[in-house]
Amino acid sequence: MNLKAIAAAAAVLAAGSPAVAFAQTTAPVSIISSVAAPQVADASIFQQGFVRYAFVNNSAVPATEVDFTLAANGDALATYRELGTFSKGVAIERFNATDASARDLQLTVAAVKYADGTIWTNDSAVPQALRQADVSLATGND
């Protein structure tokens, strides 16, 4: 983190707002596996699409919310929000249905909120304004 980022984070903390962690080269939460199958729907067949993924918190601070973006061709198709307590090094697995029909589905970590109030956002994720809310709730994993 450079000095400007540290100064900006200090200013946010001094103002009494939750801290915002600035972009870094690696995500503090890693997707360790993912499989996405598009939905197929035509006159002769229907197959529900799905996204199956596993992730792990790499930070010493427990994560309390992790947002994932499902995208294809630069367009956000869905957001999956995982809520709970995600401790460092614990693999979390999820399975969600999707109605996305694109063939090149890609899942990325979009944002992470931590128990200490800090927030990390992925500047290279598809913009939040374009995402559709598709929420899946986690039960906590400590």
Calculate ∠ Cα 117-119-125, nearest 5°.
160
Task: List beta partners, residue 40.
Answer: 47
pLDDT at 2 over 50: no
Contacts of 121 (CB under 8 A, 6+ apart): 20, 21, 23, 110, 111
d(CA 142, CA 139): 10
Domains in the chain with CATH codes: 25-130 (2.60.40)
Per-residue pLDDT of 22-59, as tens digits, reads: 334 467 999 999 999 999 988 788 999 999 999 999 99
User: What mean pLDDT is predicted for residues 66-83?
Assistant: 92
